[in-house]
Amino acid sequence: MTTLARVLMLLCIAAPMVAQQPDFTAARDEAARNLSALVKINTSNPPGHEAEAAQWLKQLFDREGIESQLFDSGPGRGNIVARLKGDGSARPILLMAHLDVVPVEPDKWTRQPFGGEIEGGYVWGRGSADDKGMLAANLEVFLTLHRLKLPLKRDVIFLAEAGEEGTPEWGINFMIEKHWDLIASEFALNEGGDIEVRNNRVQYVSVATTEKIPRGMKLVAHGSSGHGSMPRLDDPITHLGAAVGKLGFWQPPMRLNETTRTFFARLATISSPEDAQLYTHLDDPAVQKKIWEKNIQYNSMLRTSISPTMLRGGVKNNVIPAEAEATLDIRALPDEDMKNFVQEMKQVINDPAVEIVPVSGNERPPSPPSGLDTVMFHALENAQKKLWPDAITLPVMPTWATDSAQLRSKGVQCYGIFPPMTDDDRSRFHGNDERVSVEGLGQFVQFIWSAVTQVAGK
């Protein structure tokens, strides 16, 4: 053997194995087909019926030779877990999404809500965006890791759970309480952020690192009943109306956290001079008022918010009732002291005839935000730079709630993401003619793949 041959042989032995790269075009098309199949399974919650979708996933995993487990939390309420083993040198990553979807108004749709049509570059149907798009992308990444036999230092866990849309006792709560050992992880990727598409270009990738917490409240006004022909000073309808008006126009104090402070600072760097002036001068009350007028979501991110949503009172047009009530949708900052906040509400209302009553329900727990200086957050930033180099990554605090709250309360660093969407696509969330772009879904698969392989790959 010549000296050159020996050198080449030694180099080949010493060189690390280069992992086979996925065919992302094929992955995109398979993800779209799987999404279509999942949309066709009606998992509207109520009642849920997630077990049928979980069984569909179980059959797919069986065909692929992947061991998985079904967990029925109640009649028709199904959850499924699968795991790809790493070498155990680092703690697992959890890829999660929920199986249930919100109900539809079929007569308001121009397509079959559960038709799963792939047409015009979109997958159409309820849940295509929220949250079966995330489910299909996670599934494709999970299947590809298995097929390519990529060496892993972390276990990668796949979870599809029931009940996220208002009944977490059938899903994430059940899995944490009964099967925590199967989903315990260091990091989790879940729904919650945004990949903003404008003029056919991704402007930014927002990654949810925390979220506001729903805190239900009612206002109950008490008075005296009587004949409607004789107005009363203690008419509970009048007192309730005044209280609702005061709270509806009240701006609780602004309070930034690490996520929102970084969000607005980075957003200012890609905004118009007019908007950048707002985002860099948030302490100015006039700026806060301007933001409320211009962007109600950003305004809600700045503070604990109150939205009156329902009114109830009276039995007949000529009868003054003895009681009337209003329902408030309160979205609290993660560290809000609700006892003190209720006292502030009472001061704003300033009426002893109006009582503030907490509404119990499936409240998500308060939890610390996920970090901005972790290997997973940096991997998501790197994935953004690789796919959309002209964009920017923003940590964000969604004003809505997800199952990430329960995981963060268990110490999991949980990050929320969504497929690329335009404003038009996003407006269809929980609305009519819901859809997700096939091309965007394919890019989302690449985005998750890049982050997961950076963190879990050897």
Cα 79 to Cα 76: distance, rounded to the nearest angstrom: 10
Given CA atoms 182, 185, 187, 193 in this order, what sign does their dihedral have?
positive
Mean pLDDT along residues 61-65? 98
Which residues contact residue 420 at a Cβ distance below 8 angstroms, ignoring those fewer than 6 apart? 195, 196, 197, 202, 437, 440, 443, 444
Mean pLDDT along residues 371-400? 97
Instruction: State the DSSP string of 368-389.
Output: PPPPSSSHHHHHHHHHHHHH-T
Mean pLDDT along residues 297-301? 97
CA neighbor of 189 nearest in space, from 259, 96, 98, 127: 96
pLDDT at 261: 97
pLDDT at 358: 94
**Per-residue pLDDT tens digits for 267-277:** 999 999 999 99
**Per-residue pLDDT tens digits for 3-59:** 444 534 444 433 333 457 899 999 999 999 999 999 999 999 999 999 999 999 999
**Per-residue pLDDT tens digits for 189-244:** 999 999 999 999 999 999 999 999 999 999 999 999 999 999 999 999 999 999 99
Task: Give how far the C-alpha of residue 326 lies from the chain's centroid of Cα atoms, to the nearest Å.
Answer: 27
Eight-state DSSP code of residue 18: P
Mean pLDDT along residues 435-449? 98
pLDDT at 16: 39
Preceding amide of 334 cis, omega within 30: no
pLDDT at 364: 87
pLDDT at 360: 80
**Per-residue pLDDT tens digits for 143-172:** 999 999 999 999 999 999 999 999 999 999
**Per-residue pLDDT tens digits for 69-107:** 999 999 999 999 999 999 999 999 999 999 999 999 999
Summary mean pLDDT of the chain: 95
Q: Is 142 helix (H, G, I), strand (E, B) or coil?
A: helix
Angle CA 426–252–297, to nearest 5: 10
pLDDT at 8: 40
Output phi, psi for 260, to 5 deg.
Answer: -70, -35
Mean pLDDT along residues 249-259? 97
CA neighbor of 99 nearest in space, from 143, 32, 158, 145: 158
Task: Give how far the C-alpha of residue 41 lies from the chain's centroid of Cα atoms, to the nearest Å.
Answer: 21
Mean pLDDT along residues 301-320? 97
Cα 140 to Cα 445: distance, rounded to the nearest angstrom: 7
